[in-house]
Amino acid sequence: MFKLVKNEWYKNFFRIRNYVSLLFILFFSIITVLLPSFFSSQYTTGSYDKDNWKEEVRGELTALDKKYSEAEKKHESKLQSDPESMEVMILESEKNEITEEINRLNYYLEQNIMPVSNNNLYDNLLSVTQMTGLITVLITVVAVSLIADEFSSGTIKLLLIRSVSRFKILLSKLITMILYILFYTASAILFTLVISLLMSDINSSSSYVFSKGIHNFMHENFYALFAQNIITQLFSIMMVSLIAFSLTVIFISKSVTLPLSLAIYFMAAPMTMFLSQYTDLTRYLWFANWDFKQFLLPFKHTQGPLIEGMTLTSSLMINVLYCIPLLLITFYFFHKKEIYN
């Protein structure tokens, strides 16, 4: 089995497709690190001095209180003279932004945690989960190619004439797909980490502060938070790639299975939201349950489950109930597949 997996890995690793995929991941890692610098709030400051950060924060709070008073006076004045103007909405937004920053800094003071700058290591590493879509697309291409390329090139015959069962051949390809999921995700983490160490501020505490609602904050251990988010990312990618892998075994044609698999992935959330308006049975659909982020921090506070009443346990059970029959069907079709000259 090890030799089969090793053979599958090397057949795909040294292809141009794999190098292009890694370049895409590197590019998005750079963008992820640079974005906070360009889209930071005008009221959020940079790094702090470790010895005097509390004094610096109190000074900022005093300045923010003054800015809020000025914005409030302008808002009230404009509200009386021209309540329908765009400036009223801008001033209202400015007040909310200042209030958000005041509450954020006060929370850091109360919890004795040194505030972080907009561009910091922890935020950048957590943003790796924003690359789920990209990695899913790249892995879907790999999952489809593992099967379809063998049939289109005719090399599948070279595998089947060996004294190895079809079960082991297909299992080796499935394991290879999982290894590529781990490899691409690890690459995204490594690229983001290295770039962040060069271009971002290092967090002074293992506590990670995040908003759980309007002007409401909490903090958790970063490493536990990061681990659970990466695990959920890996799981959702694995579910989509498994569908792509299985469809390719059944239909063989890459031109059919690749767009179909990607359509299923990108339409999953919109379809879940649409169908949930009409029936509670939507919670039992596979694509409504493969994203575990909806049950974990910080998403369960900021977004919550896609459908009310869904839980992590029930979603895990539903995924298992879908995966087992799909794998059985996949191995059955591969075992019965006829190979033509």
State pLDDT tens for residues 249-306: 888 888 888 899 999 888 888 888 888 888 888 888 888 888 888 787 766 656 667 7
- Whether 175 maps to a domain, the answer reads yes
Residue 28 lies in a domain: yes
Give the whole-angstrom CA distance, residue 289 versus residue 307. Answer: 10
Look at 11 and 30; give whichever has higher pLDDT.
Answer: 30
The answer to whether residue 33 sits within a structural domain is: yes
Q: Is 220 contained in some domain?
A: yes
Least confident window among 162-166, 222-226, 315-319: 162-166
Closest CA to 54 of 1, 111, 13, 3: 111
HSE toward the beta carbon, residue 225, CA cutoff 13 A? 20
170 and 81 belong to one structural domain: no
- The answer, yes or no, to whether residue 94 has pLDDT greater than 60, is yes
Are residues 247 and 106 both part of a single domain? no
pTM of the shown model: 0.86
Number of neighbours of residue 86 by Cβ within 10 angstroms: 9
In a domain, 69, yes or no: yes
**Residue 5, pLDDT score:** 82
In this predicted structure, which of 30-39, 112-121, 214-223 has the lowest mean pLDDT? Answer: 30-39
- Identify the H or E element spanning 140: helix 132-153
Q: What is the residue-wise DSSP string for 11-65?
A: HHHTSHHHHHHHHHHHHHHHHHHHHHHHS--TT------TTTHHHHHHHHHHHHH
- The domain boundary residue, chosen from 99, 117, 135: 117
Position 322 scores a pLDDT of: 93
How, if at all, do strands 207-213 and 216-221 pair? Answer: antiparallel
* Whether residue 212 sits in one domain with residue 94: no
Query: Are 233 and 274 found together in one domain?
Result: yes
Categorise residue 112: left if φ over 0, alpha if ψ from -120 to 50, beta otherwise: left
341 located within any domain: no
- Smallest Cα–Cα separation from 257: which of 268, 271, 243? 243
**Is the same domain home to 103 and 154?**
no
Calculate the average pLDDT of the chain. Answer: 84
Residue 299 falls inside a structural domain: yes
153 and 104, same structural domain? no
Residue 185 confidence (pLDDT) above 90: yes
Among all chains, which residue has been given the structure tokens 């989960």?
129
Whether 261 maps to a domain, the answer reads yes
Whether residue 58 is predicted with pLDDT greater than 60 in this model: the reply is yes
Cα–chain-centroid distance for residue 85? 39
Q: Whole-angstrom Cα distance, residue 105 to residue 102?
A: 5
Q: Which domain holds residue 332?
A: 2-40+118-336
Task: Indicate if 74 and 125 belong to the same structural domain.
Answer: no
Number of compact structural domains in the chain: 2
Whether 16 and 46 share a structural domain:
no
| pLDDT at residue 82 greater than cutoff 90 | no
Res. 73: pLDDT tops 70: yes
Asked if 217 and 75 sit in the same domain, the reply is no
What are the structure tokens assigned to 78, written together?
């404009």
From 117, 143, 159, the end of a domain falls on: 117
What pLDDT does 302 receive?
63
Give the mean pLDDT of 169-185.
Answer: 92
Residues 97 and 197 in one domain: no
Q: What are phi and psi of 216, to 5 degrees?
A: -130, 125
Structural domain ending residue among the three candidates 74, 89, 117 = 117
Q: CB of 200 within 8 A of CB of 121? A: yes
Question: Cα–Cα distance between 69 and 281 in angstroms, integer?
Answer: 51
Domain match, 94 and 230 both: no
Which tokens go with 307? Answer: 């459908």
Q: To which residue do tokens 């990108």 refer?
A: 266
Question: At residue 40, what are phi and psi to the nearest 5 degrees?
Answer: -75, 150
- pLDDT higher than threshold 90 for residue 151: no
Please indicate, yes or no, whether residues 181 and 288 belong to a single structural domain of this protein: yes
